Amino acid sequence: MHPSKICTLSLCVTTVFGLQRPLKPGSYQDSEDIYYRLPNDIRRVAVIGAGPAGLQFTSTLIKHGFEVRMFERAPNPGGIWQYTDKVPIPVTFPPIDTMAYVPDIPETLPATHVYEDGEEGLTVEWRIREHWAPSPVWKNMTTTTPSKWMTLPDTNYPKNTPWKHTQMDVSRHVRQYASSVGLNANDEEHANVTAYWTRVERVEKVAGSQKRWTLTLRKLTPVRDGKLEVHWWQEEFDAVVVGNDTDNDAAWVPTIPGLDDWARVVPDAVFHSRQYRRPQPFANKNVLIVGGGYSGVGIANDLIGFARSVTVSTRERFDNGPSPKPVNLKNALITLANGTVVSDFDIIILATGHRRSLPYLVGFHNSTIQGRDEPDTIKAPVITDGTHLRSLHWTGHYIDDPTLLFCTDLPWGGGLVGYQALGAARVWAGKARLPSITRMWKMYPGAANLLRDVPVTGQVRVRLFVTWLNTEILEFGGSFVAPPPVDETLELLRYYVAKQYPPAITHFYDSAPSGDLPRRDWDVYTGEHEVQPRSLSHQQLKALYGDQPSGHWAELSLRW
């Protein structure tokens, strides 16, 4: 690497966090308040979730010699991309506050109980769905991100996989990766690592064991005669990775006057989009979809040709608040926020998005804090109103206790999850350092300045990880980390998105704000600059991908 490039990387770190000196060995004097010190040796690590991120964390930690246990409530790997015809338990109206959630755990552990069908008024099927919480993926769902950028390490899609691929393509891809690292449900290589059908009920530091995390676990095992065995137990760990999807673990239902009454009178007529699977049950129905995001539009398209009519209600613009303007429902009349009254709908689908809940994190919730206000509490919360995670260092570590880490990045392609997992492994192995807790809080920009749970995203964060990890290698030894390879197909995406959208949108959905990097590093400029593909002409683009419908390329931008 050229010396000037090294200087550029170091300056990137100092600019983002306002530090006085570049990050390099010898920059700071050795003292107790400079670096964070682990409370004990980290040997045993729990990873929650077997989706694309959890699998990568587990594989990386195993390679670095940790004793790892990966817990997944579903029967197979895949996370949000594991499709099933089973639907989640219906959302309650009003929804239950995460702080009020209390898991059903026997007083004495370990414990085992065999449930019969109909026991306590609940079917075995209901208990399975409640435990599993199937993902919101529907049968005919297609992605908005090309297969080129939805790949996992050393794993490829079949040669003829289309640019706009299906949820089944992604699910197979994730299972293929899981098998390649020995973490699939039927793999014996790491049978002592994987725990499928196992839900994490509580994560806490129990009194008298302040240096270790205690996980309370619940496993389902179907047994003969249609019965269901449930087993509860506890395990202790030195560190915990929250690797399950922190964006989609709970349905978000807005406060709509009258909705509770309607759902109580006609419970099958109102449900959240996470319960949608196929269009056939909606044949000849008049359907109202509340919400114009990806799920709302995707489900609307899926219903065309089956439903008698499909109406999508959406706000004209986004705001920073978590709730939409009120909508009144009474006597089957729906009054929209703009005063329009509509009626004669058989079904209402609430495609209103999801929130972060992570109910197993004992003591890390404070729902009294709304929006992005800063809390005045003794213990810094991670979950507040469900719109974001907070109190995290840019590496994903919980600032007050870096033995707890959250996956805060997209897991695909040359994404940051690989860097984040490597950073976690090296920190917990004592081969990379974090600033002291006091210094991490000084670096923390506050919840009001977070874009995706952490202070910086995109290419700036890639440079931070590469610079930090390579700096620590100079101190502790090891193999240097390379940045992701330059991918010319990213230029194709930027080119077509820039052609289809106004400058403000292309600026927002680029992988990093153009102002954060030198102009020469960018293929496409936004704002006042003219769009200039640097190396590929339109003829070359057409030769590679043909004439793509403009709407197809427009959809792709929504994931950036």
Could you tell me which residue, 140 or 487, shows the higher pLDDT? Answer: 140
Strands (DSSP E) contained in 186-305 are 194-195, 198-204, 213-223, 227-237, 239-242, 250-251, 270-272, 286-290
Could you tell me which residue, 466 or 529, shows the higher pLDDT? Answer: 466
pLDDT at 196 (0 to 100)? 97
Token duo for residue 5: 């490039």
What does the pLDDT look like over 223-249, one tens digit per residue? 988 899 999 999 999 999 998 765 557
What does pLDDT average to over the chain?
76
pLDDT at 337 (0 to 100)? 62
Token duo for residue 546: 């043909």
Percent of the chain topping pLDDT 90: 41
Q: Residue 198's closest CA among 186, 185, 179? A: 185
379 in Cβ contact with 363 (< 8 Å): yes
Q: Which residues lie closer than 8 Å to 515 by C-beta, 6 or more apart?
A: none
Cα(36)–Cα(440) distance, integer angstroms? 9
Q: Which residues lie closer than 8 Å to 325 by C-beta, 6 or more apart?
A: 315, 337
Tokens 């799920």: give the residue: 295
Measured on CA atoms in the order 294, 297, 303, 309, is the torsion positive or negative?
positive
Cα(59)–Cα(211) distance, integer angstroms? 24
Tokens 């809080």: give the residue: 441
Tokens 């874009």: give the residue: 451
Could you tell me which residue, 549 or 375, shows the higher pLDDT? Answer: 375
pTM: 0.79
- Which domains, ranges and CATH numbers included, belong to the chain? 23-250+356-485 (3.50.50.60), 253-257+267-326+344-352 (3.50.50.60), 488-559 (no CATH)
Average confidence (pLDDT) over 369-394: 72
Give the range with max mean pLDDT: 29-43, 146-160, 178-192, 478-492. Answer: 178-192
**316, exposed or middle or buried, with CB in 10 Å at 0-12, 13-18, 19+?**
exposed
pLDDT at 109 (0 to 100)? 96
68 pLDDT above the threshold of 80: yes
452 pLDDT above the threshold of 60: no
pLDDT at 95 (0 to 100)? 67
Distances (CA, A) of 209 to 40, 214, 416: 12, 8, 33
531 pLDDT above the threshold of 60: no
pLDDT at 482 (0 to 100)? 83
Cα(513)–Cα(527) distance, integer angstroms? 11
What does the pLDDT look like over 133-175, one tens digit per residue? 999 999 999 987 778 778 899 999 998 888 778 999 999 999 9
Q: Residue 359's closest CA among 53, 184, 105? A: 105
* C-beta neighbour count of 254 within 10 angstroms: 17
pLDDT at 185 (0 to 100)? 94
pLDDT at 495 (0 to 100)? 58
Q: State the virtual CA torsion across 156, 161, 165, 168 in degrees, nearest 10.
A: -70
Q: Residue 346's closest CA among 294, 408, 288? A: 288
Could you tell me which residue, 144 or 528, shows the higher pLDDT? Answer: 144
Q: DSSP string covering 405-444, please?
A: EE--S--STT-SHHHHHHHHHHHHTTSS--B-HHHHHHH-
Give the range with max mean pLDDT: 143-152, 274-283, 313-322, 526-535. Answer: 274-283
What does the pLDDT look like over 545-555, one tens digit per residue? 344 333 222 22
Strand bridging mode 194-195 / 354-355? unpaired
481 pLDDT above the threshold of 60: yes
Average confidence (pLDDT) over 187-197: 93
73 in Cβ contact with 133 (< 8 Å): yes
